[in-house]
C-alpha cells in the first residue's frame, strides 16, 4: 500500500497554541505510520480524498486533511474516560484513481483489505459515501454476520443505474452479502417509498431522527437489540445526519437532524462494542462549510468514537 505524497499527516504542526504544559492535544499522540508499523497502534487513520460519486454538491475530497487539522488541536481528555493511553497512527491518504466510481470502489476495497489485516481499528476519513462499499466489503464473510450502523439523513440504497454513486453503497453491500443494516437519523420527506420498502425487505432497521426525542440511550438500546446476531460491526457517520445548522458543510444539508450532543453520545456508546471492526466519517465538505462547524463536528465525532473504542478495548 502506498501513501499519497501530497497532504502527508503533520499532526505536530497542527497542534493548537497553548502555553500550558498540562495541555495534551491529539496532535501530540498521533504519528505517521507505515503499513509495517501500524500494528503497533490501537487506532489508525486513513484518508480517502474523493468525492467523484456525489449526487449533488461536491467538496468532500478536502475533508481528510481538514478533519485531521481540527482533531490535532483538540484536547485528548474525555471527562469520564480520560485520554488515550497509547500513540495513534496515521497511514496518510489513499492514492485513488481518477476514473469511474466502480474502479475507485474496487481500489478502496483492495487497500482496505490490507488495512484490516494490520490489526488496529481503522478510522476512514472520507470522502463521499460511495467509499463505504469499499470500506465494508472486505469484512463480508459467509461464515460470520456483518452489521453496519449508518448514521445518515438518507438510506443510500438506490439501485445502481449506469454506475455506483454516493446513494448506492448499501444496495451494493446487500447484494454482496451484508447481513444487518441499521439506518439511524433518517429524515422524513428525504427518502422515496421504494427505498424504505427495500430496507424493510432486507430486514433492515430504520430509526428516524425524531426518535432521539426519547434520548440517545433509548436509541442505542434499539440499535443493540437489532445487532444481537451480528459478529462484526462497522460504524458509518454521514455528516448530513446532523441538523443543517450544525453541519452546513455537506452535500445535502436539511433541517430536522440530530444535535451534535446526540450524535457524539450515540457514537461513543456504539464504538465501545467489542465487535467493532471499522469506523468512517463521510460527506463532510469543507468548501461548503460555515466557520468550520461541520469539520469540527466531524473531528469530535472521531474523538468520541476513539474514546469509546479504547475504553472497552483496554
pLDDT, tens digit, for every residue of 162-177?
999 999 999 999 999 9
Is residue 169 included in any domain, yes or no?
A: yes
Can you give the pLDDT at residue 10? 80
Q: What are phi and psi of 199, to 5 degrees?
A: -60, -40
Residue 2 clears pLDDT 70, i.e. is over it: no
Report the range of poorest mean pLDDT among 3-17, 23-37, 171-185.
3-17
Residues 30-35 have a mean pLDDT of 91
Can you give the pLDDT at residue 98? 83
Is residue 6 included in any domain, yes or no?
A: no
Counted domains in the chain = 1
Can you give the pLDDT at residue 84? 79
Is residue 61 included in any domain, yes or no?
A: yes
Residues 36-81: pLDDT tens digits? 889 999 999 999 999 998 988 999 999 999 999 999 999 999 998 8
Can you give the pLDDT at residue 9? 75
Owner of C-alpha cell 453541519: 247
Strand order in the sheet with 276-282: 30-32, 88-93, 43-48, 121-126, 276-282, 232-238, 146-151, 180-186, 205-208
Can you give the pLDDT at residue 266? 96
Is residue 1 included in any domain, yes or no?
A: no
Minimal CA–CA distance to 236: which of 178, 311, 160?
178
Residues 236-259 have a mean pLDDT of 96
Is residue 193 included in any domain, yes or no?
A: yes
Can you give the pLDDT at residue 99? 85
Residue 8 clears pLDDT 70, i.e. is over it: no
Is residue 2 included in any domain, yes or no?
A: no
Is residue 99 included in any domain, yes or no?
A: yes
Can you give the pLDDT at residue 6? 44
Residues 90-118 have a mean pLDDT of 94
Q: What's the gap between Cα 182 and its chain centre?
A: 14
| pLDDT level of residue 21 (50, 70, 90 thresholds) | confident
- What whole-number distance in Å separates Cα of residue 130 and Cα of residue 169? 6
Written as nine digits, the cell of 249 is 458543510
| pLDDT level of residue 142 (50, 70, 90 thresholds) | confident
H or E element at residue 122: strand 121-126
Can you give the pLDDT at residue 5? 39
| pLDDT level of residue 143 (50, 70, 90 thresholds) | confident
Q: Percent of the chain, pLDDT > 70?
A: 96
Can you give the pLDDT at residue 153? 97
Domain that includes residue 125, residue range: 12-313
Residue 179 clears pLDDT 70, i.e. is over it: yes
Q: DSSP label at 144?
A: B
Q: How many contiguous H segments (helices) and E segments (strands) does the chain have?
A: 9, 9
Residues 144-156 have a mean pLDDT of 97
Identify any residues that bridge with 150 across adjacent strands, giving them in sequence order: 183, 236
Owner of C-alpha cell 467523484: 52
Report the range of poorest mean pLDDT among 16-20, 118-122, 220-224.
16-20
Written as nine digits, the cell of 132 is 463505504
Is residue 283 included in any domain, yes or no?
A: yes
In the three-class reduction of DSSP (H, G, I as helix; E, B as strand; rest coil), residue 145 is classed as coil
Residue 131 clears pLDDT 60, i.e. is over it: yes
CATH code of 202's domain: 3.40.800.10
Can you give the pLDDT at residue 141? 87
Can you give the pLDDT at residue 312? 60
Minimal CA–CA distance to 122: which of 77, 156, 92?
92
Residue 7 clears pLDDT 70, i.e. is over it: no
Which parts of the chain fold into alpha helices (H)?
26-29, 63-72, 101-118, 131-136, 169-176, 193-201, 216-226, 260-271, 293-313
Average pLDDT, the chain: 93
Amino acid at each position: 500500500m502506498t501513501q499519497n505524497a501530497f497532504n502527508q499527516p503533520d499532526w505536530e504542526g497542527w497542534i493548537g497554541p497553548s502555553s500550558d504544559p498540562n495541555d495534551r492535544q491529539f496532535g501530540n499522540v498521533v504519528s505517521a505510520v507505515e503499513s509495517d508499523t501500524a500494528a503497533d497502534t490501537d487506532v489508525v487513520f486513513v484518508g480517502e480524498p474523493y468525492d467523484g460519486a456525489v449526487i449533488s454538491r461536491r467538496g468532500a475530497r478536502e475533508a481528510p486533511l481538514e478533519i485531521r487539522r481540527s482533531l490535532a488541536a483538540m484536547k485528548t481528555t474525555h471527562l469520564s474516560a480520560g485520554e488515550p493511553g497509547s500513540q495513534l497512527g496515521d497511514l496518510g491518504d489513499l492514492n485513488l484513481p481518477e476514473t469511474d466510481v466502480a474502479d475507485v470502489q474496487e481500489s478502496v476495497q483492495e487497500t482496505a483489505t490490507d488495512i484490516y489485516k494490520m490489526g488496529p481499528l481503522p478510522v476512514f476519513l472520507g470522502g463521499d459515501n460511495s467509499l463505504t462499499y469499499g470500506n465494508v466489503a472486505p469484512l463480508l464473510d459467509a461464515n460470520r454476520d456483518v452489521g453496519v450502523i449508518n448514521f445518515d439523513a438518507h438510506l443510500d440504497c438506490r439501485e445502481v443505474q449506469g454506475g455506483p454513486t454516493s446513494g448506492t453503497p448499501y444496495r451494493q453491500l446487500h447484494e454482496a452479502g451484508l447481513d444487518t443494516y441499521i439506518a439511524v437519523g433518517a429524515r422524513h420527506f428525504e427518502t422515496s417509498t421504494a427505498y424504505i420498502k427495500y430496507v424493510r425487505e432486507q430486514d433492515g432497521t430504520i430509526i428516524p431522527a425524531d426518535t432521539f426525542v426519547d434520548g440517545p440511550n433509548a436509541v442505542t438500546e434499539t440499535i443493540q437489540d437489532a445487532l444481537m446476531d451480528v459478529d462484526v460491526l462497522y460504524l458509518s457517520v454521514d455528516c448530513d445526519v446532523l441538523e443543517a445548522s450544525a453541519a452546513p458543510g455537506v452535500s445535502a444539508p436539511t433541517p430536522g437532524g440530530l444535535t451534535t450532543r446526540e450524535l457524539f453520545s450515540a457514537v461513543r456508546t456504539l464504538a465501545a462494542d467489542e465487535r467493532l471492526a471499522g469506523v468512517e466519517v463521510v460527506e463532510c465538505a469543507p468548501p461548503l462549510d460555515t466557520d468550520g462547524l461541520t469539520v469540527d463536528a466531524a473531528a469530535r465525532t472521531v474523538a468520541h468514537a476513539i474514546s469509546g473504542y479504547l475504553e472497552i478495548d483496554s
